[in-house]
Structure 1
Amino acid sequence: MQLSLGPILYNWAPERWRDFYFRIADEAPVEIVSVGEIVCSKRSPFLSDHIPAVVERLQNAGKQVLLGSLILVSLRRERRLTEELAAVEGALVEVNDLTCLKALAGRPHAIGPFVNIYNEASAAFHAARGARRICLPPELPLASVATITKAVPDVTTEVFAFGRVPLAISARCYHARLHKLAKDNCRFVCEKDPDGLLLKTLEQQDFLTINGVQTLSHTCANLLGEAGLLRESSVGALRLSPQDCDMVEIARIFRDVLDGRDDVEGGNRRLAAAYPGVPFSNGFLWAEPGHVYRQARPGDAQASAEIGPP
């Protein structure tokens, strides 16, 4: 089973963004890496100068690189950026908005978790039009994951396995509104929250996380304990979403458990130490509320605890 690293969703300083990927290239046991600004097109110019060096470093390290498209395309400028991305020769584009498909015109590509592939018919539709990898939406239950994966055996399917869960995207910028700024004059205030801004209810309960125009969960998805079940369901890769923590260590933990060098219990202890203070969740996979973290139960304990090599 492969490990993939999704794109950075947060607004990190350009040099930090570049150095993060350089370290991923040199140290992280992941096979697939998605890069690019996919949340807010206003951030893109800050990263554009670093992308060629990042891609070269990752490819020289033997990683397959995906170029991520915007999640929401609503402006002419954003449509033009999407068309330019699709025109890059030799690159595998990860589609996060369907407007990107026309520009790709049947060329091989990947599908990101922001495209609503909820059944085997939609997966087959995209596979027939050139999709070679599909990262399924994180809200799908295990039964749906298994059904979709078996319907497209020639496509590598991924499941979102670690990170705050992306829930929604909007044309409005929550960060700008919070700071009483207009979206067009946001002053990039989202950079103050490199792991997103936690929202609480009126009862002071942790609720959601905002990231500019994006809404995420306040919990961190953790499917380490379900990796065995996902492998049995023919899932080809687990996706790790970058958070404000040591993602090289996160990747090593997943790799150690997948390869049998550590067990799930030990891996979870290490994950909690590497990303402290953020509760885990896996409810979506068990068809329960997404914020729930369900412990192993009789009947799935063996599959989820004994992951070793197939």
Structure 2
Amino acid sequence: MMPLLTLGPVLFNWPADRWRDFYFRMADEAPLDTVILGEIVCHKRAPFFADAMEAVVARLTAAGKEVWFASPILAGNDRERAAMRDVVTNGLLPVEANDMGALALLAGQPHAVGPFINTYNEATLAWLAGRGAMSVSLPAELPASSVAVLAKAGAALGLAVEVQVFGRAPLAISARCYHARAHGLHKDGCQFVCGNDPDGMPVKTLDGQSFLTVNGTQTLSHGYLCLAGEMERLAAMGVSRFRLSPQAVDMVAVAAAFRAVLAGQRDGRDVAAELGRLVEAPLENGFFHNLAGAAYAAEA
């Protein structure tokens, strides 16, 4: 199978026109195979770009991209559960499930499983495949040994296995909004302060060391996960889909660089060095190498 390049959903609270124009540019300029759309972090943000959704889907589809809707990561009340059901039962586009509730609604239907569902072993992978999953995006914290086992199991099941290779690593989601609390606000009266941080709000330890990134109710890594140097190894394991998570950087350049690695036109280590100069936070690949997640190990 030819390796595929996926763009995950925008995780951050971008203004509607920026969100729309980002996806228009992805449609016209980025060498992507699949684009996943949807507000998956905070349901309160979704109405802001709802009016642009149809045009974005049309532009991406016309450009030959496969388009999927993503379900929210966490549905904690009746309103959020209703929004999740609306996504899952949209009847227009295939769905990537990011919550067990969404999986229950999708049982027996073809669907994808996002990285926010804990797929840690072969039994889980087989269970997901038996319920209709066509592809599974693995959690970012898995080491290479686990990825290899799951990729082999996925191949035996006829299931595509995906790994995130760029973007801040998702670490946790909460019913509480850290962004609001940091500004002395409650979640219900947050004033959408997360929009002030288009690439997430940096968090430091008491001694001033950069530590994590906050995005509303979501916790992300401080640095940017980058597995450009490991892509040849991942492909040899049987990983067939490679995921980019949108950040407030030139994602067309990022997509082009990773496409060139997949095509054998560029060395992944050179691309990683280039990306290290493009982003403002350090690169990370520690999880893959069975190290602390924030570590960066140069691929031998």
TM normalised by structure 2 equals 0.96
| 1:131 maps to which of 106, 119, 133 | 133
| 1:143 maps to which of 142, 145, 153 | 145
How far does the alpha carbon of each residue in 1:167-190 deviate from its partner, in whole angstroms, 9 at most, with x for none?
Answer: 000011011101111110000000
1:282 matched to 2:279: no
Which sits farther off after the overlay, 248-257 or 101-110? 101-110
How far does the alpha carbon of each residue in 1:212-245 deviate from its partner, in whole angstroms, 9 at most, with x for none?
Answer: 1000000100000000110000001110000000
| 1:233 maps to which of 237, 245, 249 | 237
Q: Which residue identity does 1:293 align to in structure 2?
A: Y
Using the aligned pairs only, state the percent identity: 51
TM-fit CA distance, 1:268: 2.2
- In the alignment, which residue of structure 1 is the partner of 2:168? 164
Q: Matches of 1:174 and 1:205 in 2, distance apart?
A: 19
| 1:14 maps to which of 16, 25, 48 | 16
Contact 2:223 2:282 (C-alpha < 8 Å) held by counterparts: yes
TM-fit CA distance, 1:270: 2.3
Counterpart of 1:190 in 2: which secondary structure? helix
TM-fit CA distance, 1:50: 1.1
Q: Which residue identity does 2:160 align to in structure 1?
A: T
Counterpart of 2:243 in 1: which secondary structure? strand
- In the alignment, which residue of structure 2 is the partner of 1:305? none
Unaligned 5+ segments in structure 2 are: none
Q: Which residue identity does 1:81 align to in structure 2?
A: A
1:195 matched to 2:199: yes
How far does the alpha carbon of each residue in 1:46-83 deviate from its partner, in whole angstroms, 9 at most, with x for none?
Answer: 12111111111111111111101100111101111111
Q: Matches of 1:292 and 1:233 in 2, distance apart?
A: 22
Contact 2:71 2:98 (C-alpha < 8 Å) held by counterparts: yes
- In the alignment, which residue of structure 2 is the partner of 1:304? none
Q: Which ranges of 4 or more aligned residues in structure 1 deviate by more than 3 Å?
A: none
1:264 matched to 2:268: yes
Q: Matches of 2:135 and 2:267 in 1, distance apart?
A: 28
Unaligned 5+ segments in structure 1 are: 298-310
TM normalised by structure 1 equals 0.93
How far does the alpha carbon of each residue in 1:16-74 deviate from its partner, in whole angstroms, 9 at most, with x for none?
Answer: 00110011011101101110000000001112111111111111111111101100111
